[in-house]
Amino acid sequence: MKVGILGLGLIGGSMARCFSKAGHAVYAFDTNKEILSFSQLAGAVCGVMNENTTPHCDLILLSIYPDSSAAWLENNAHLISKNCLVMDLCGTKENICSRCFPLAEKHGFTFIGGHPMAGSHFSGFKYSRSNLFQGAPMVLCPPRLDDMQLLDRAKQALSCCGFGQFSACTPQEHDRLIAFTSQMPHVLSNAYIKSPTALSHRGFSAGSYKDLTRVAWLNAPMWAELCMENRDNMISELDTYIHSLCAYRDALQNRDIHTLTDLLEEGRLRKEEVDG
């Protein structure tokens, strides 16, 4: 299989390593020429994805920012074979799917939204690895949820990645859920670490601090774009969180240990409910 990959960051680079390791021919494009050259030296990529190689790709993975991924497809849709499956790997879905579904229909190829639920607080090709997706969940957003043939085609195309499970939903449902599970934790961690106390935490912190602050180390331009694209869902989640924080603050302000205990117990029970 010939695979084209747009963007050689952590996700795109890991996809390149994974498909190349499985024996597929991988062509890629990245605006950073040094990264593109290094990926070839590393054996993850065999050539450049351009106007000559794009028409021969059986699978194309879009792994740059959502708006740029959609723009690339708009500019290159005429090059893509009708037998090709195009999948984005972006962190939001509603915008990119609304732009790319009609493009695929117009030009005759197939497009499906995809979001591998794997990653790291480090970014860039140098942190990519062929086993990044092993056992991880993969979310698919097809044009129609009942298109079982397309869902199976996507699973087969990604079979060498070793995903642990696949789920399918609408782009709207994806973005509603991902605001809570992915974008909110990054914002909360990023805001938490801004406390002046953080400068003197050494020797007084352990696992809970590390867990809470790990994703504060982020790619700011990427996460800003993802949050802005999903701003309605993010505002709703932030409002809910701020309301909850105010309840804890009020209990402390009022020296109300019974209310504070109840609030903490509610949180514990909710964690037990949702995670088992």
2-169 belongs to CATH 3.30.70.20: no
Q: Which two tokens stand for residue 192?
A: 């938490």
So what's the pLDDT on residue 190?
97
Cβ contact 28:4 at 8 Å: yes
pLDDT tens column, 158-184: 999 999 999 999 999 999 999 999 999
So what's the pLDDT on residue 76?
97
Cβ contact 91:66 at 8 Å: yes
Domain positions in the chain are 2-169, 174-275
pLDDT tens column, 199-211: 988 878 888 999 9
Residues 137-141: what's their mean pLDDT? 98
The hierarchical CATH code for the domain 174-275 is 1.10.3660.10
Cβ contact 82:68 at 8 Å: no
